[in-house]
A and B are shown apart, each in its own frame.
Chain A
Amino acid sequence: MTSYFTPQFLVLFLPGSALCYQLVPRRARWAVLLAASYAFFWALSGWLAVFVTVSALVIWLTGLALGTEAARRGRELAELGADRRAVRRLWQRRMRLTLAVGVLANLGILVALKYAGFLAGLVRPLGAVMPELPRIGLPIGISFYTMQAVSYLVDVYRGTVAADANPLRLALYLTFFPQIMEGPICRYAQTAQALWSGAPVTAKQVFSGSARVLWGLAKRMVVADRLNSLVSPVFADPGSYDGGVIVLAAVLYTLQLYCDFSGTMDCAVGMGRLFGIALPENFSQPFFSRTASEFWRRWHVTLGEWFKDYVFYPVSLSGPVKRLTGAARRALGGRMGPAAASGVALFCVWLANGLWHGAGTQYLLFGMYYFVLIWAGALVEPASQALCARLGVSRSGALWHGFQHVRTLLVVVAGELIFRSASAEQGLELLGRATLDFRADSLLDGTVLAVGMDVADFVVVGVFVVLLLVAGVLRERGVHPLEGAWRRGPVVRWAVCFALLMCVVVFGAYGVGYTPVDPMYASF
């Protein structure tokens, strides 16, 4: 068992644990989930499960300490004649210290395991030598569960959730197996108590959960894994292809990444439902976005929200940045000033976002690319509005919206081209080739069909893309297809699952002739 997409997981592990969950009494259900989650972790990472356990222990102890401090602060504030300001300041300092210890311990493990080699490579030219850490590999999902651990601590510090005295519940919150590999990144308030309560699972949840898993499987196995046959060879040896093929590969890679990641998320959300857990959605039709920042509110939603809540606002509202914002407002006015000053917080967010994806220069470039685009977008917004007004272009008309859609798609595809490259230099080189060396004839003369996908493959992908578009439009209009199928009775319900299953069985890119692809975000 190496991922969700193996027969032993789909046929044995998942149905087996769902069945166990149903059979044991409510009070013991958390134990089934915890055991299954640790078994899954063990199967993928072996003894590295120690690290997630350490993280759980750290947030348990730090959370309790923060809870105690908050209670003492409360008592002192309630005392008659207390200097409330001084008490607040004193406890804020103490609690910040406690929070910092917990957060740094978690981030320290992540940095040591994931970024040590990258950092050593960065400082080596400066003559500094970092101590060589033993290479022990990455525990599965460390980038995801570390985010969950930090968010719990900050939430306890802020008082939005109470400190949890139960270390097992915190361990389950971090390791819950449907979400451990690729997220979604959950908040304590969203899942922790539900995971523990063992609430009854309804027949409707079982149906919509299974259908959602099958839909995710179809996205991944029919589209993403099939596209890999073209994307992988082109990016393995981009020098042999001209700009036209590289543009096509970038477009198909964007589609592949979307189907791979959002398909895995469909599976995660579906699996959650089988245990009666509502995991947060991670995608909401990203390709319908009109701006780059809207794209990031719709793609990997839980990561964006995490950065907004735990990086963007805290940085924006920190003392030095507040002073900067104040100065900028005086100089540039109430709208432009904050927009200009937000560059600091945006830079932090996009630096972290780039690095979160991996220790590579291409990811740094990817982050900076979006930083520049989004910040510049905010800065030129007033000018753009004025220009449109002068030219008489309606900013709520179909023409302007269409232009925005196309522009955003181009931005996204160019971003993913950088993202897929082996390094920042290669990313820039490929961007250059894609624009300067673009020739449409290589797309038409059969070169494309020789890489790894034949006409039939393109047809299947095309049909599925139409299906995805229809589903996307329905979701945008607030229609839930699975909800509708449920209301229409048993025949329709079973037919939906059956059709999806057959789609996967026949048109899935698995078996002889296909190389199995690991879920892409699992390595980030």
Chain B
Amino acid sequence: MDAILDILEELKPGVEYRGRTDLVDSRELDSLTIIALVAELEDVFDIAVPAAEIVPENLNSPEAIWALVCRLREQGL
């Protein structure tokens, strides 16, 4: 979970990510940042994120991103 916050902070510093639930809806994460985020997640957690998973519900909060990562890791096994 903290790993997610670290990744976000590194990609786009100066934003308070903890507790947010509108990262995509408020355009804090635009499509280019999302691509960078996904690339980082795939690297760090050794997962493959399909395009179908790129929906606001999966990315709006650090918790949702973490849940996505966990789900994909489970599926990959």
Contacts and interface: CB of A to CB of B under 8 A. Distances in A.
A190 to B, nearest CB: 14
Given A338-B36, A339-B32, A313 B10 contact: no
B15 interface: no
A308 B31 contact: yes
B35 interface: yes
B23 interface: no
B31 A325 contact: no
Interface string B11-42: 10000000000000001001110011011101
B35 A325 contact: yes
Given A312-B31, A329-B39, A335 B11 contact: yes
Given A158-B52, A160-B52, A334 B30 contact: no
A342 B35 contact: yes
A339 B33 CA distance: 8
Contact of A378 (B32, B50, B55, B77): B32
A293 B30 contact: yes
Interface stretch (A44-52, A169-177, A314-322): A314-322
Contacts of A326: 39, 43
B49 interface: yes
B36 A313 contact: no
Interface in A291-345: 293, 297, 308-309, 312-314, 316-317, 322, 325-326, 329, 334-335, 337-339, 341-342, 345
Given A325-B39, A338-B39, A317 B32 contact: no
A308 B36 CA distance: 15
Contacts of B54: 309, 313, 317
Contacts of A334: 10-11, 36, 39-40
B11 A317 contact: no
Interface string A376-393: 001000000000000000
Contacts of B77: 84
A313 B38 CA distance: 10
Contacts of B40: 334
Nearest to A329: B39
A120 B39 CA distance: 40
A317 B31 contact: no
- The binding surface of chain A is classed by DSSP as helix
B56 to A, nearest CB: 11
Chain A contact-residue range equals 20 to 34
A481 interface: no
B54 to A, nearest CB: 5
A334 B36 CA distance: 7
A325 B38 CA distance: 10
Given A159-B52, A312-B31, A317 B36 contact: no
A337 to B, nearest CB: 8
Nearest to B12: A335
A159 B75 CA distance: 15
A335 B39 CA distance: 10
Contacts of A85: 76
A85 B75 CA distance: 9
B71 to A, nearest CB: 13
A236 to B, nearest CB: 39
Nearest to B30: A293
A313 B24 CA distance: 14
A16 B44 CA distance: 60
Contacts of A313: 31, 35, 51, 54
Contacts of B36: 334-335, 337-339
Contacts of A378: 32
Interface of A: 84-85, 158-160, 293, 297, 308-309, 312-314, 316-317, 322, 325-326, 329, 334-335, 337-339, 341-342, 345, 378
Interface of B: 10-11, 27, 30-32, 35-36, 38-40, 42-43, 49-52, 54-55, 75-77
8 contacts: A160-B52, A313-B54, A316-B51, A317-B50, A329-B43, A337-B36, A341-B35, A378-B32
Given A313-B54, A317-B49, A317-B50, 14 more contacts: A84-B77, A85-B76, A158-B50, A160-B55, A297-B27, A309-B54, A313-B31, A316-B35, A325-B39, A334-B39, A335-B11, A337-B36, A341-B35, A378-B32
